[in-house]
Homo-oligomer: A and B are copies of this chain.
Amino acid sequence: MPELSNALLETLLEQVRPLTARGAVASYIPALAEVPAHALGIAIVTSDGQLFQAGDAQTRFSVQSISKVLSLSVALTRYSDDEIWQRVGKEPSGQPFNSLVQLELEHGKPRNPFINAGALVVCDMLETRLTAPRQRMLEFIRQLSGTADINYDRHVARSEYEHSARNAAIAWLMKSFGNFHNDVSKVMQTYFHYCALSMNCVELARSFVYLANQGKAVDGTTILTPRQARQINALMITSGMYDGAGEFAWRVGMPAKSGVGGGIIAVIPNKMSIAVWSPGLDAIGNSLAGTAVLELLSEQLGSSVL
């Protein structure tokens, strides 16, 4: 089994680079469609703090749904388990990430916090208990990443908001079932800002090391308990990759969360966090080349958790 090194990562990227031509860049909002389609990057931070990187690892992109893990993490520090899990479930949805069908049949309780409905409920919770939820998230992610200048891409956030009809429908449907407490428009603004966090692979890998490290951030701060970190990993392995979690576990075997910006954050518990980025998406909405990089890495390191 080869040892981790920047050179190894370079080699992996070369193997999958042809795939960057095959995915489709998210285009439902103009701001996302503008990214360089062939970008490809990876960064790894081990639980003992080493950093490895290759390719476009220092180019920032829109983290999109990866932020759903962050907002859930913040919620876990402000709400009891009972308070959270009576409002959102823990099961895979077996449906597209933005469907309302299941949400109506299940009376406004989203299946899990990583589909849009679930993340909106989490943001609704944060709106209730945080005085400045957008500012708080910036502080949180700056602390996690050790990078002071991480910011929202307001252009992306505004663009998302202007194309938010589906999410508004989801929020209003939950409100009709009593599972949404704050102003829909205000919570969506927060939600879209979270999605519009602009970060690069190095920053992401560093930020998410707490999930590989029993809840402890890169700087040693306790973010979550070991059990909570494990639980988020559980949610990621069953529901982190939209309606492609099963296929991803089959191929890669790691807890992970993707975003339509082309980023994926993956975790090897007690070992490392990995961030990959390539904007071309597969039919499900996951980075095509990004998934392939992680699959190769898993094979070469023997690092599947399964």
Give the B-binding residues of A (Cβ under 8 A): 89-95, 99-102, 104-105, 111-112, 165-166, 168-173, 175-176, 180, 184, 230-231, 233-235, 237-239, 243-247, 249-250, 253, 255, 269, 304-306
Contact of A175 among B101, B104, B165, B175 (CB under 8 A): B165
Q: Helix, strand, loop or mixed for chain A's interface?
A: helix
- A269-B306, A305-B269 known; A100+B173 contact, CB < 8 A: yes
Q: Across the interface, do A92 and B168 meet the contact criterion of CB distance under 8 Å?
A: no
CA distance A99 to B169 in the complex (A): 12
Q: Known interface pairs A99-B104, A101-B101, A306-B305. Does A249 touch B243 (Cβ–Cβ under 8 Å)?
A: no
What residues of chain B lie closer than 8 Å to A171, measured between beta carbons? Answer: 169
Task: Chain B residues near A239: list those with CB within 8 A.
Answer: 246
Question: Are B231 and A238 in touch, CB under 8 angstroms?
Answer: no
The oligomer's copy count stands at 4
Asked if B91 and A91 make an inter-chain contact with CB atoms under 8 angstroms apart, the answer reads no
Give chain B residues whose Cβ lies under 8 Å from the Cβ of A92.
91-92, 94, 238, 245-246
In the A-B complex, the 10 residue pairs with the smallest Cβ-Cβ separation, listed nearest first, are A94-B94, A92-B92, A165-B176, A169-B172, A234-B249, A169-B173, A166-B176, A233-B306, A165-B175, A91-B246
Q: With the chains together, A234 CA to B248 CA distance in Å?
A: 9
A172 is contacted by which of B90, B172, B247, B306 (Cβ under 8 Å)?
B172
In the complex formed, the residue of B with least CB distance to A103 is B100
Provide the bound-state CA to CA distance between A92 and B244, in Å.
9
CA A150 to CA B233, docked complex, whole Å: 38
Complex Cα gap A62–B100 (Å): 31
Q: Which residue of B lies closest to A170 (CB)?
A: B169
User: Can you list 7 A-B contacts (CB < 8 A)?
Assistant: A89-B246, A91-B246, A92-B92, A99-B104, A166-B172, A168-B176, A237-B238
Among candidates B89, B172, B233, residue contacting A165 with C-beta atoms closer than 8 Å: B172
